[in-house]
């Protein structure tokens, strides 16, 4: 059978935590899933610190995350990328969108939008396009928004299956930069993935609904679109949202990873629908990951959120 382009491309995956608190069970699942998905294909696994929201960044947490990942045997390829050092790249992308009439200044406050917009969609207000044709008299620029199209954005997720979203009905024209300077997550992640050659994005299902905005930006900026794989979320008691504070797995939280690391990785594998053999009980992180690289089956990953048993 003749090889396709996709067959010849090296897989480049990534893990991109936000250093706003110690590594927790949800981020551990994302780290393990993304690592094994890349390494099972002999690909690269990159690491990026999504520290754009500097007021929320906790000093020392980025270093603790790096040490925790290393203690678990999750060694990344290349140098760590820090979003806080890449504002110039985001600025260039925003300027390109603006030059081509694909983005525009918005002077609306949140309260103004909420009063005029249609009913909220999944707790998010759809922007009604008040500044799409120019800033109204008396208004000053508060944000930069991207014009969305009326077409539905569709993609196939390797775990969640086919996904479709009409952005004009779900979010409307969305913000890529605030007037006080910070660039939005959607723009930054698209620019960074393209710059690093990432072609496989494995992350938590809480980001599934934001993926169409990122695919749309990739198309506007003429970037390739990676393959997406959204993993089920870890929940707390009674299927409630997991507390980061109560689920920390990092060295800073007092975890003895020399003793518990292998067991944590085995629990993450089982959460992801894998079936490691009993012979791995008590194994080191390195041994568990070696098994995972050889045996990880994406088709066994469940779609539904659930508790982390371990």
Domain check: are 30 and 177 in the same one? no
Domain check: are 196 and 299 in the same one? yes
Domain check: are 209 and 298 in the same one? yes
Domain check: are 104 and 170 in the same one? yes
Cα gap 115→127, rounded to integer Å:
11
Domain check: are 40 and 157 in the same one? no
Domain check: are 290 and 268 in the same one? yes
Query: Would you say residue 149 lies in a domain?
Result: yes
Domain's final residue, options 143, 170, 186: 186
pLDDT digits (tens, 9 = 90+) for 64-110: 999 999 999 999 999 999 999 999 999 999 999 999 999 999 999 88
Domain's final residue, options 186, 211, 243: 186
Query: Would you say residue 38 lies in a domain?
Result: yes
Q: What are the backbone dihedrals phi and psi of residue 176, each rounded to the nearest 5 degrees, phi first?
A: -115, -10
The length of the chain, given as a count of residues: 310
Tell me the CATH number at 100. Answer: 3.90.800.10
What's residue 253's pLDDT?
Answer: 86
What share of the chain has pLDDT > 90, as a percent? 79
What's residue 211's pLDDT?
Answer: 98
Of the candidates 302, 306, 309, 307, the residue with the CA atom closest to the CA atom of residue 33 = 302
Domain check: are 172 and 101 in the same one? yes
Of the candidates 66, 30, 38, the residue with the CA atom closest to the CA atom of residue 51 = 66
Asked if 229 contacts 207 with a C-beta cutoff of 8 angstroms, the reply is no
Query: Would you say residue 212 lies in a domain?
Result: yes
Domain check: are 200 and 292 in the same one? yes
Tell me the catalytic residues. Answer: 244
Domain check: are 103 and 238 in the same one? no
Domain check: are 76 and 40 in the same one? yes
What's residue 106's pLDDT?
Answer: 95
Asked if 65 contacts 19 with a C-beta cutoff of 8 angstroms, the reply is yes
Domain check: are 171 and 300 in the same one? no
Distances (CA, A) of 19 to 52, 54, 63, 88, 94: 10, 9, 9, 21, 25
Asked if 186 contacts 217 with a C-beta cutoff of 8 angstroms, the reply is yes
Q: Print the domain residue range for 303.
A: 11-84+190-307
Q: Cα torsion for 77, 82, 85, 89, to the nearest 10°?
A: 70
Query: Would you say residue 263 lies in a domain?
Result: yes
Cα gap 115→237, rounded to integer Å:
36
Query: Would you say residue 221 lies in a domain?
Result: yes
Of the candidates 188, 159, 203, 285, the residue with the CA atom closest to the CA atom of residue 31 = 203
Query: Would you say residue 3 lies in a domain?
Result: no
Overall number of domains in the chain:
2
With a cut of 70, which residues of the chain have pLDDT below it?
1-8, 117-124, 238, 241-246
What's residue 138's pLDDT?
Answer: 86
Query: Would you say residue 2 lies in a domain?
Result: no
Query: Would you say residue 31 lies in a domain?
Result: yes
Domain's final residue, options 154, 186, 218: 186
Instruction: Show Cβ contacts of residue 58 under 8 Å, excluding neighbours closer than 6 positions.
Output: 19, 20, 21
Domain check: are 194 and 302 in the same one? yes
Tell me the CATH number at 275. Answer: 3.40.50.620
């Amino acid at each position: 059978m003749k090889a396709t382009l996709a067959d010849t491309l090296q897989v480049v995956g990534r893990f991109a935590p936000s250093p706003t608190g110690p590594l927790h069970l949800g981020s551990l699942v994302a780290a393990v899933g993304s690592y094994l998905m890349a390494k099972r294909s002999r690909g690269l696994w990159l690491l990026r610190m999504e520290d754009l929201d500097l007021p929320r960044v906790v000093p020392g947490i980025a270093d603790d995350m790096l040490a925790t990942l290393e203690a678990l045997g999750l060694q990344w390829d290349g140098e760590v990328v820090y979003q806080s050092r890449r504002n110039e790249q985001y600025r260039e992308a925003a300027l390109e969108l603006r030059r081509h009439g694909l983005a525009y200044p918005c002077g609306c406050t949140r309260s103004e939008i909420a009063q005029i917009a249609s009913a909220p969609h999944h707790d998010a207000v759809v922007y009604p396009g008040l500044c799409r044709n120019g800033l109204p008299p008396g208004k000053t620029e508060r944000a930069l928004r991207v014009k969305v199209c009326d077409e539905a954005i569709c993609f196939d997720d390797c775990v969640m299956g086919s996904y479709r979203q009409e952005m004009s009905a779900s979010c409307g024209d969305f913000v890529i930069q605030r007037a006080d300077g910070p660039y939005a997550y959607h723009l930054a992640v698209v620019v960074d993935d393209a710059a690093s050659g990432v072609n496989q994005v494995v992350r938590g299902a809480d980001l599934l609904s934001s993926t169409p905005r990122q695919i749309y930006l990739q198309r506007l900026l003429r970037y390739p679109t990676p393959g997406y794989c959204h993993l089920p979320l870890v929940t707390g008691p009674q299927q409630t949202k997991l507390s980061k504070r109560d689920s920390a797995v990092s060295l800073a939280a007092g975890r003895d990873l020399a003793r518990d690391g292998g067991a944590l990785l085995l629990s993450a594998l089982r959460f992801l629908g894998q079936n490691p053999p009993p012979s791995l009980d008590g194994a080191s992180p390195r041994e568990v990951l070696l098994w995972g690289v050889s045996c990880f089956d994406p088709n066994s990953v469940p779609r539904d959120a659930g508790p982390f048993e371990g």
